Structures are given as C-alpha cells and as structure tokens.
Amino acid sequence: MLGNPNRERLDLDDAPPVDAFVDVLTDVPQAPDWLVGKTGSAGVLALAAWESLAPLLVQARQLRQGDEIALGRYCRYVAEWVVMTDEIDEMGMVVIDEGPKGGQTTKANPLLSARRGVEAAAAALERELGLNPRARIEVQKRLMQHVKDLPQLAGKTQPRQGGAIGFLENDDE
C-alpha cells in the first residue's frame, strides 16, 4: 500500500537514500560502442543525441544501470527520424512512380511509412526512459513501488499523538 494510511509521523532523517534501491547512475556513461564512430548523418546525429540526453537523464536521476542500450537505441531512432524527415522534405510527401507499362503514377512517399515505424519505436522508448512529462510521472510511480516500504526499512516510524483525528480530540479531559 502506498502513502501513509495511518497518518503516522515519519522521521526519515536517517533513512537510506532512495537511490540505494534502484541503481541510479551518478556518472554519465559512455555511449555504446555500436553508437560511436559511425559515419553518415544518422550516426553523427545519434551520438550527438546521446551526448545531449545522457547528462540530462543522469542529472534528473532518471538513468539506471542497464538503460544504456535503450538510450542508445532511442538516440539512433531519433537520428533516423531526423534523416528521414529531411529526405521527405526534399522529395515531397508524394513521389512519382514509373508504372510497368511506361505510365506514371503518384503514391505516398515510402519514407512516410518507415518514419512512422521509427517514430513508434522512439515513442515507446521515450515512455520507458521518462523522456516526456507523462512518462516521467510513470517512472516516478515505478520508483515509488521500489521504496514503498522505506519507513519500515528505515525503522523510523512514530505514532501520531491523539489518534486519527487528533486535532479534534481534547487531550485535557
């Protein structure tokens, strides 16, 4: 059960830090080898995304051990999305296709579909890594699941004086 249903006064001064329960990284990790040294615009953009996001996530205490691969994939997806968007901007939303009998037809740029796939994968990782406001709330909820027993673990609970509605009870009688 979350919260403090008995409304006990909690003395958490000596409680272990929350990070002790969830393996939060305190140093910015190196980018994965498969993300470093790639040529081409997507490779350069992916590494730039890592160098921008990893320090922010560590500072926000959102990056945990094992998240490096997911963050690397997210950075690669963002880079691919940017490259595809640039190509769509150059080619247009509709492309002309040569038909089998020499005629021309117009169709949606196939990069639109590919970009949607990359965007969906990136959005899923955004949720997992807490990279948007709603996802940050969900990450914090998951974090609280790890520390719901913090007062008991710390051994620092104190009963509230005067019962559940102590401020209404008169202790002088």
DSSP per position, the chain: --S-TT--EE--TTPPPGGGGTTB--SPPPPPTTTTT--SHHHHHHHHHHHHHHHHHHHTT--BTT-HHHHHHHHHHHHHHHHHHHHHHHH-SEEEEE-TTS-EEEEE-HHHHHHHHHHHHHHHHHHHHT-SHHHHHHHHHHHHHHTTTHHHHHT-EEPPTT-TTTTTS-TT-
CA distance 150 to 31: 33
Strands 9-10 and 157-158: antiparallel
Distances (CA, A) of 5 to 1, 150, 155, 160: 8, 14, 17, 12
Asked if 157 contacts 8 with a C-beta cutoff of 8 angstroms, the reply is yes
The tokens of 57 are what? 């996530």
Q: pLDDT tens string for the chain (173 positions)?
A: 455 667 676 665 655 555 544 688 899 999 999 998 888 899 999 999 999 999 999 998 888 888 999 999 999 999 999 999 999 999 999 999 887 788 888 999 999 999 999 999 999 999 888 888 888 787 777 667 666 655 555 554 454 455 545 445 555 54
Model confidence, pTM: 0.67
